[in-house]
Structure formats: structure tokens, C-alpha cells
Amino acid sequence: MENLEQRLGYHFRDTSLLEHALTHSSYANEHRSSGITSNERLEFLGDSILGLIVAEYLFRTHPNMPEGELTRTRAALVCEDSLHEVALTLKLGRYLRLGKGEAAGGGRTRPSILADATEATLAAVYLDGGFEAARGIVQKFILNKEQEKAVDRDYKTSLQEYVQRTPGKSVTYRLVEEIGPDHDRVFIMEAAVDNQVVGRGKGRTKKEAEQLAAKAALEHM
């Protein structure tokens, strides 16, 4: 837990909150007689805290951004993929308390479980240190990537709009290769229109690689 606290950049006064945040329902069900509960309530709280922090940040930093664009930007920052990336950075999978079946079935790497644990961890920070402590976590791991997410959305949206000028055509993205160790992974993605490759991109995340593939496709087309 000390290693996880170092990655978070936050030291818990009550470490049981962090343990609770990392407790999956499968583990709680196996230890019901011990009174252990899952992180689902913390996940609920964390989702609301995250949404508020991101919404306030976008509202203050983009005074001229229309409501629809604010909504889309917030969605890109708080989606499962974004939370999964945070979990990978924190290596949350190592610390999850999972039931035997869930652990054997690959639960430590399942994006949905990791994303939920990220929200629960944020709630644990909030309950332990207050709103500003939670804001610091969101700023460090999510808001600092706002520009990457915005660029990603712009290129992919532009490509989609361009392709849809021709009825019946669609864009798909495919992972071509993963390079490097877990802590320094590089992803290569291809963008294809009707199964014909039109662009390739390389990035530190799949989303970034998709963005660069869309950019390359626009330039090509």
C-alpha cells in the first residue's frame, strides 16, 4: 500500500479506506461472514466527485466553450478508457482484492474493474483528505491529459465526418502491435475505411495512437 500511496502522491491517515476502495464484490461475497463490503458505494461517490471536478475545471478554463463541447470533453476525460489508463499508471491491478474465481479469470487486468477501482480510490482520497485532496489526484492523472483527449476527439471526429460524406462508408481502428515493457508501452494503431487501411499512428496509449492514425488518414485522404 505504501508503494501505491507514493504513486498517488497522497498518504492516507486511514488506510482502511484505501483497502475498501480496492475490494471487489467477488472478494466481499467470499468473505461476507467477516462483514467485508465491496467498493461499489465508493465507486458511486467517486463517479460524482470526478464529474464535478472535471466539470468545474472545464467551466473555469474554457469560458467560451459551448455547452455541447463541454459535455463531450468531460465525457472523454471521465470515460472508462480514461480511468483504465489511470489504473494502469497506478498499477491498481496489483492491489485489488478479488475473489478466487475473478482473479483466476483475469480480473486484475479487466478494464471495467480497474476503472471502477479508480473511481473508488478517488472517493477514498476525498473521504480521507477532503475535496482539495481529491482535486489534486484528478488534476495529476486526468486533467493534465485534457489536451491529448481533445486532440484525439477532434481528429477522429473530423475523419468520421469526412468519411460519412459518402453514404455507407465507416471508419474502424485496429491494434497492429504493442512494443516495450508494461511501464513504457507503445501502441501502433491503424485506421481503415471499409477495411482499407488509410492511416497508421503510434502512441503511449491506444487512444493517442488512434488519434495519430486518424490524423494520418485525413492527410492521406
Per domain, the residue ranges of the chain are 2-141, 148-220
Question: How many Å apart are CA 197 and CA 57, to the nearest integer?
Answer: 38
State the amino acid at position 19 in one-letter form.
E
Q: Identify the pLDDT of residue 166.
A: 82
Which one from 85, 116, 119, 152 is the annotated catalytic residue?
Answer: 119
CATH class of residue range 2-141: mainly alpha
Nearest Cα residue to 97 out of 16, 172, 178 = 16
Q: Identify the pLDDT of residue 155.
A: 81
Q: Identify the pLDDT of residue 117.
A: 97
Alpha helices in the chain (DSSP H): 2-8, 15-21, 25-30, 40-61, 67-78, 80-90, 100-104, 111-129, 131-141, 146-163, 206-220
Q: Identify the pLDDT of residue 144.
A: 86
Angle at alpha carbon of residue 142, lines to 124 and 214, rounded to 5°: 145
**In contact, 113 and 107? CB cutoff 8 Å:** yes
Phi, psi of 178 (to 5 degrees): -120, 130
Catalytic status, residue 47: yes
pTM (two decimals): 0.69
Q: Identify the pLDDT of residue 168.
A: 84
Q: What is the DSSP string of 127-152?
A: HHH-HHHHHHHHHHHTGGGHHHHHHH
Phi, psi of 164 (to 5 degrees): -75, -5
Q: Identify the pLDDT of residue 36.
A: 94
* Sequence-ordered list of residues with C-beta below 8 angstroms from that of 218, at least 6 positions apart, any chain: 155, 158, 159, 162, 199
Element (H, E) at 175: strand 171-179
Q: Identify the pLDDT of residue 153.
A: 61
Q: Any idea which fold 148-220 has? A: Double Stranded RNA Binding Domain (3.30.160)
Question: How many Å apart are CA 31 and CA 46, to the nearest integer?
Answer: 24
46-79 pLDDT, tens digit each: 999 999 999 999 999 888 777 877 887 888 899 8
Catalytic status, residue 148: no
179-205 pLDDT, tens digit each: 988 878 899 999 999 889 999 999 888
Could you say which residues of the chain have pLDDT below 50? none
